[in-house]
Amino acid sequence: MVNKILLVGPPGSGKGTQGVRLSEILGLEHVAIGDLLRAEISSGSELGETIKAKVAAGELVDDDLILGLIETRVEEAAEKGYILDGFPRSVDQAQKGRKLAEPVGARPELVIYFDVPDDIVVDRLTARAEIEGRADDNEETIRHRLALFHETTKPLLEFYEKQGKARMIDATAPVDEVTEKILELMRG
Ligand code: AP5
């Protein structure tokens, strides 16, 4: 079974939900870039202050900062495997990540692409806003995050298809079914 996977998909497609579940089932570390950024913001650090506005506006945080988060984890990830959620978000980030991962044998083996229509995303995230109150879960910002996804992140599907690593899943299916599908793909 492969043990180095990327979860790629629009906001609200279920990456975080599945990352947590797969991590519990498989004992692999779930590295969620958005969670790491929100933890930094909550800590009140200077770094947190610099990224706060970008995350709240649904903009991408600078590549150098994101690569810094990846860099410190790459050797352990090569050894133990990983479920990486929220990186890369652009072909450019993927190419930069490859330079870090390749020398230590940490490149992803499988890329799960979560397919879900925009309207379902908007419904899910406006519902989540009432429960969790995330700063970026208002309709205007959700639409902006979606537009950014289509323009910048979606090209990763073709990028990883060319490498034979991408698998698209129907992320509108019930949570259990999505988990089972990913496990099936991981088993190969
Ligand atoms: P991040 O936290 O990664 O946000 P996101 O990609 O917009 O994704 P979400 O967390 O909103 O959704 P999800 O796909 O994880 O779905 P979830 O499981 O939560 O990033 C936040 C910000 O950080 C970015 O906007 C950017 O500013 C910055 N950032 C992050 N990575 C970066 C990078 N690499 N470079 C630069 N900047 C970066 O589910 C959503 C809801 O749907 C939940 O309520 C859930 O219960 C429900 N749900 C899940 N699955 C199902 C299902 N199958 N059926 C019905 N409901 C479901």
> Could you report the per-residue pLDDT of 127-182, keeping only the tens digit for each?
999 999 999 999 999 999 999 999 999 999 999 999 999 999 999 999 999 999 99
Most informative mutation of 33, 122, 125, 156 for ligand 1 (most atoms within 8 A of CB): 33
- Residue 120 in contact with ligand 1 by CB distance below 6 A: no
- Residue 113 in contact with ligand 1 by CB distance below 6 A: no
pLDDT of residue 177: 98
Domain count, the chain: 1
86 φ/ψ angles, rounded to the nearest 5 degrees:
105, 5
Mean pLDDT of the region 77-87: 97
Token pair for 181: 């599908």
Q: Is residue 110 part of a domain?
A: yes
Mean pLDDT of the region 116-127: 97
pLDDT of residue 165: 98
Q: Is residue 188 part of a domain?
A: no
Q: Is residue 142 part of a domain?
A: yes
Mean pLDDT of the region 99-118: 98
- Residue 12 in contact with ligand 1 by CB distance below 6 A: yes
Distance 157 CA to ligand 1 centre (A): 17
CATH code where residue 119 lies? 3.40.50.300
Distance 10 CA to ligand 1 centre (A): 7
pLDDT of residue 99: 97
pLDDT of residue 53: 95
14-33 pLDDT per residue, tens: 999 999 999 999 999 999 99
Q: What is the pTM of this model?
A: 0.98
- Residue 87 in contact with ligand 1 by CB distance below 6 A: yes
pLDDT of residue 27: 97
Range of the domain at 162: 4-183
